[in-house]
């Protein structure tokens, strides 16, 4: 018969074995297996396929602002009214290519293609929109900033007159498809720049081979772009004169600061820039400024030429060097930082691209994302828990302080803050001139949500709303998988008189909204089921390891108790 001492030894030994096995399996082997399954590598086919060609659908909606009372924008007492048109809906096709694996890093490009998927009641891409002419003001801005002071006024007048000859106005009417991907021609502006070069001898930066405008193509706006270029580039003694010339020539071309365009023109199709090419050529003849070869059919569209393109070369962590670094961007286009802003902090590339995140989300930490569209990194902070497709996620939102002009950490995003802080835009505006070749493009949240109230009050028809205009994303806390994301950005033009005389362009200085986008991705039901299964397995393993550990400890304790009982007194 087995003695009590032997029984005690068996119980204690079994308890020790259970403790060792539960610790080894629960804290070493199982996590190692889970880690190896999460690393992005070609050997891990399922994970690699999901990363390189995401099965989760991505949607992008465009909302354009139509100005209903821009017939006489020179009346400064009139408060301009904006009607929001849209959504104009597209789906995104994303696929990574040219993938290279080395030292735990992945180098790749990601091709993004947009497919028009009109919803019920959509107006269609041929609907026309009256809005500010961004190329007009870009040209005016460049003349104002770059021309010598004694030339800026004259050049601005010449610009206006020559654009007017080309029927290019400060306001315009364009199709939605032109404003996005198709673009419209910049030839009238190229002509003006060429004529300025000939008249003034001012050296201009290289001009595009195919000058069209579209925020998804080339990202270089037009009337105000031309005005901005003259203001920025022309010698001070020429800037004023060139601005006047620009305005008059654009007026001759029928190019005004405000315009009417079809939706398709404003988005992907674009519209002709021939009037601006004409002006650049005349400036070149008059000023002697040498310009590069100009295209035969330049167009401009807010997203013109961007369809089927990529955002550059990314190098990210695959997770092999630690899952806590999964997805972190190490270089973009071969650089560890950007060079658009005024100091090292603002130029840092931090975080992921927003598609993948490390597991084990810490809600007390900021989550950083690098966004090429913003030319900078931003961060989000935890707000609350939400449920999507039966999955509990941590919601992170981009806080107001990220775009707060007066926060010391944000001063380096203002190009002029070292010269005069008063030259910086108020809270809620990001000046994109440093990374868009001087074009007076400004980014904000839709309807200036969380921005300075003065931008909202400058128009009627704007109504900022947290639910509709906030950027946020939801992460499953164990795996770090995004279960829902919504990125919302608004494109604006810095509208000023620049060097164009009030008699030609008598408008209020304002941040003029063009359009805003809502880019969303939501985990579909099959993917959500896979995530739920993975989470349930992890939860079961966690519960099991603690149960086995508790059982092992209980057996060891029982063994000691039995030992006390059976020991000879």
Secondary structure (H, E, C), 6-26:
HHHHHHHHHHHHHHHHHHHHH
* Contact residues for 450 (Cβ-Cβ < 8 A; gap 6+): 400, 403, 427, 428, 464
5-19, 152-166, 336-350, range with greatest mean pLDDT: 336-350
pLDDT, tens only, 297-346: 667 666 666 666 778 899 999 998 988 899 999 999 999 999 999 889 99
The answer to whether residue 8 scores a pLDDT higher than 50 is yes
pLDDT, tens only, 73-88: 556 677 889 999 989 9
Give the chain's mean pLDDT.
79
pLDDT of residue 23: 56
383 vs 395: CA distance, rounded Å: 6
| CA neighbor of 306 nearest in space, from 181, 414, 194, 213 | 181
In this structure, of 294-303, 398-407, 432-441, the range with the lowest mean pLDDT score is 294-303
pLDDT of residue 224: 58
Mean pLDDT of 86-103: 91
| pLDDT above 90: percentage of residues in the chain | 30
The answer to whether residue 144 scores a pLDDT higher than 80 is no
Residue 29 has what DSSP assignment? I
CB 224 within 8 A of CB 133: yes
Mean pLDDT of 394-399: 97
In this structure, of 212-221, 457-466, 507-516, the range with the lowest mean pLDDT score is 212-221
Model confidence band, residue 103 (pLDDT cutoffs 50, 70, 90): very high
Q: Which tokens hold the place of 342?
A: 């005024």
Q: Which tokens hold the place of 291?
A: 């310009």
Pairing of strands 251-253, 314-317: unpaired
The answer to whether residue 412 scores a pLDDT higher than 50 is yes
Model confidence band, residue 556 (pLDDT cutoffs 50, 70, 90): low
End-to-end CA distance of the chain: 21
pTM over 0.85: no
Q: Is the peptide bond before 87 cis (omega within 30 degrees of 0)?
A: yes
505 vs 247: CA distance, rounded Å: 8
pLDDT of residue 221: 43
Which position has the token pair 């999901």?
A: 50
157 vs 239: CA distance, rounded Å: 9
The answer to whether residue 46 scores a pLDDT higher than 50 is yes
Q: Which tokens hold the place of 356?
A: 């993948």
| Residue 564 CB-density burial (10 A; 0-12 exposed, 13-18 middle, 19+ buried) | exposed
The answer to whether residue 249 scores a pLDDT higher than 80 is no
pLDDT of residue 19: 56
CA angle 269, 492, 504 (to 5 degrees): 90
> DSSP letter string over 142-165?
HHHHHS-HHHHHHHHHHHHHHHEE
291 vs 310: CA distance, rounded Å: 29
pLDDT of residue 218: 35
pLDDT of residue 209: 57
Q: Which tokens hold the place of 549?
A: 């550990």
Residue 203 has what DSSP assignment? P
Q: Which tokens hold the place of 82?
A: 């904006």
pLDDT of residue 259: 72
73-87, 136-150, 340-354, range with greatest mean pLDDT: 340-354
CB 161 within 8 A of CB 253: no
In this structure, of 102-111, 320-329, 454-463, 559-568, the range with the lowest mean pLDDT score is 559-568
pLDDT of residue 1: 42
Q: Where along the chain do its domains lie?
A: 346-526
pLDDT, tens only, 111-129: 888 888 887 777 788 888 8
In this structure, of 11-25, 148-162, 447-461, the range with the lowest mean pLDDT score is 11-25
The answer to whether residue 94 scores a pLDDT higher than 70 is yes
> Strand, helix or coil at 521?
strand
The answer to whether residue 217 scores a pLDDT higher than 70 is no
Beta strands in 154-300 (DSSP E): 164-166, 171-175, 183-185, 212-213, 240-242, 251-253, 258-262, 264-265, 270-272, 299-300
340 vs 371: CA distance, rounded Å: 13
Model confidence band, residue 368 (pLDDT cutoffs 50, 70, 90): very high
Choose between 148 and 353: higher pLDDT.
353
Model confidence band, residue 38 (pLDDT cutoffs 50, 70, 90): confident
138 vs 10: CA distance, rounded Å: 85
Model confidence band, residue 219 (pLDDT cutoffs 50, 70, 90): very low
Q: Which tokens hold the place of 290?
A: 């040498």
pLDDT of residue 228: 61
Mean pLDDT of 152-164: 76
CB 137 within 8 A of CB 337: no
Question: Which residues face 93 on adjacent strands?
Answer: 113
* Contact residues for 375 (Cβ-Cβ < 8 A; gap 6+): 338, 340, 432, 434, 435
pLDDT of residue 398: 96
């Amino acid at each position: 018969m087995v003695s009590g001492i032997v029984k005690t030894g068996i119980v204690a030994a079994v308890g020790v074995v259970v403790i060792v096995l539960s610790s080894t399996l629960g804290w070493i082997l199982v996590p190692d297996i889970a880690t190896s399954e999460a690393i992005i590598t070609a050997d891990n086919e399922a994970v690699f396929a999901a990363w390189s060609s995401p099965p989760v659908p991505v949607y992008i909606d465009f909302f354009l602002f139509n100005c209903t009372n821009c017939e006489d924008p020179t009346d400064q007492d009139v408060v301009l009214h904006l009607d929001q048109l849209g959504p104009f809906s597209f789906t995104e096709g994303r696929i990574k290519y040219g993938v290279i694996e080395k030292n735990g890093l992945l180098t790749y490009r990601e091709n993004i293609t947009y497919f028009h998927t009109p919803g019920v009641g959509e107006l269609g891409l041929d609907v026309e929109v009256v809005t500010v002419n961004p190329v007009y003001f870009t040209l005016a801005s460049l003349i104002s900033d770059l021309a010598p002071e004694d030339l800026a006024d004259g050049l601005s007048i010449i610009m206006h007159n020559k654009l007017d000859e080309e029927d290019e106005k400060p306001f315009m009417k364009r199709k939605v498809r032109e404003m996005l991907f198709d673009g419209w021609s910049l030839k009238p502006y190229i002509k003006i720049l060429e004529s300025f070069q000939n008249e003034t001898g001012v050296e201009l930066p290289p001009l595009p081979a195919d000058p069209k405008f579209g925020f998804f193509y080339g990202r270089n706006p037009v009337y105000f772009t031309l005005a901005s270029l003259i203001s920025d580039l022309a010698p001070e003694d020429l800037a004023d004169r060139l601005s006047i010339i620009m305005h008059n020539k654009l007026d001759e071309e029928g190019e005004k600061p405000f315009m009417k365009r079809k939706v398709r023109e404003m988005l992907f199709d674009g519209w002709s820039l021939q009037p601006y090419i004409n002006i650049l050529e005349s400036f070149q003849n008059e000023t002697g400024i040498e310009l590069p070869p100009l295209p035969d059919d330049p167009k401009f569209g807010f997203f013109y030429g961007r369809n089927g393109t990529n955002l550059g070369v990314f190098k990210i962590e695959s997770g092999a060097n630690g899952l806590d670094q999964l997805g972190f961007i190490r270089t973009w286009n071969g650089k560890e930082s950007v060079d658009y802003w005024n100091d090292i902090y603002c130029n840092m590339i931090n975080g992921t691209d927003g598609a993948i995140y490390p597991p084990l989300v810490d809600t007390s930490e900021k989550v950083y994302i690098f966004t090429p569209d913003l030319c900078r990194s931003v961060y989000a902070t935890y707000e609350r828990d939400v449920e999507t497709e039966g999955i509990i996620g941590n919601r992170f939102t981009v806080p107001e302080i990220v775009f707060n002009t007066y926060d010391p950490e944000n001063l380096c995003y203002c190009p002029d803050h070292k010269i005069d802080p008063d030259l910086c835009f108020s809270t809620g505006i990001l000046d994109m001139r440093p990374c868009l070749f001087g074009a007076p493009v400004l980014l904000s949240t839709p309807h200036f949500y969380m921005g300075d109230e003065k931008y909202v009050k400058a128009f009627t028809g704007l109504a900022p709303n947290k639910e509709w205009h906030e950027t946020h994303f939801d992460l499953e806390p164990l795996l770090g998988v995004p279960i829902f994301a919504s990125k919302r950005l608004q494109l604006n033009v810095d509208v000023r008189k620049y060097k164009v005389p009030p008699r030609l362009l008598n408008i209020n200085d304002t941040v003029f909204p063009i359009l805003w986008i809502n880019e969303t991705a939501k985990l579909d039901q099959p993917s959500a089921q896979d995530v739920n299964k993975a989470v349930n397995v992890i939860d079961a393993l966690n519960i099991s390891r603690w149960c086995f550990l508790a059982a092992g400890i209980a057996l060891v304790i029982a063994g000691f108790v039995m030992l006390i009982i059976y020991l000879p007194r």
